[in-house]
Amino acid sequence: MISPLAYIHPGAKLGENCTIEPFVYIEDNVVIGDNCHIMAHASVLSGTRMGNNNKIFHGAVIGGIPQDLKFVGEDTTLEIGDNNMIRENVTLNRGTASRGKTVVGSNNLFMENCHIGHDSVVGNGCIIGNSTKIAGEVEIDDFAILSACVLVHQFGHIGSYVMIQGGSRINKDVPPFIIVARDPAKYSGLNIVGLRRRGFSNEAIKSIRDAYREIYESKTIVSTAIARIKESHEITPEVERIINFVESKAERGIIG
């Protein structure tokens, strides 16, 4: 199941039942788990640590050095979980001295030609659309969906269960559970379809909607809206997640 036309460095470690197609290039200091499938012309570079059942499509470059002029060759990693699908020409860069590693969770879909920059963290169950570009040190929480050609500024934070419209330019943090759309990108309501697909109850969705009405529709500053939520709303787990996200992003600010 390993093509004789592939190059695999003797120092690389491969798990059981892997399929390595012709012209794959795997460097030293690479660990690949069981049942992974790496297709022709893909490259897996030094510092990559990959779990099980990952599928890497043609031309992807996994574990490339950071596109950061401060990088001087330090020993860093790219850590990938299980059951990820990484489509054609995707690039996932390893970390720098800043965080030491780029981290990708499990069950994600990275569509054709998207890029994940150095020291970023991608959660579980995310979809990153065609040609979407994620800069360095970005955090993307679980079950976020970024449509095609989205641009995310460095140090940004994308909350869980969000849906971001294709072509959006994200230069502020995106709190959980919402849709971001329009040009310039802004809050455009709740990700109702996504929440229902993930099993959120009507009561949970109502609590989320009420919290965001305070934040986005009350015409007050965000800190005042958060104070009102704490005083007059039931603090469900979903509302607590919103509060924690917004308060932790006070300096950078959330999308308008």
Q: Which residues are catalytic?
A: 118-119, 136
DSSP output for 119-144 = T-EE-SS-EE-TT-EE-TT-EE-TT-
Residues near 213 by beta carbon (within 8 Å), at least 6 away in sequence: none
Q: Which tokens hold the place of 16?
A: 């059981």
Alpha carbons within 13 angstroms on the beta-carbon side of residue 85 total 10
The tokens describing 112, both together, are 């054709």
Give the other-Cβ count within 10 Å of 184's Cβ. 10
| Integer Cα distance of 66 and 136 in angstroms | 9
Q: What six digits make up the tokens of 123?
A: 């959660």
Tokens of 193: 């379809």
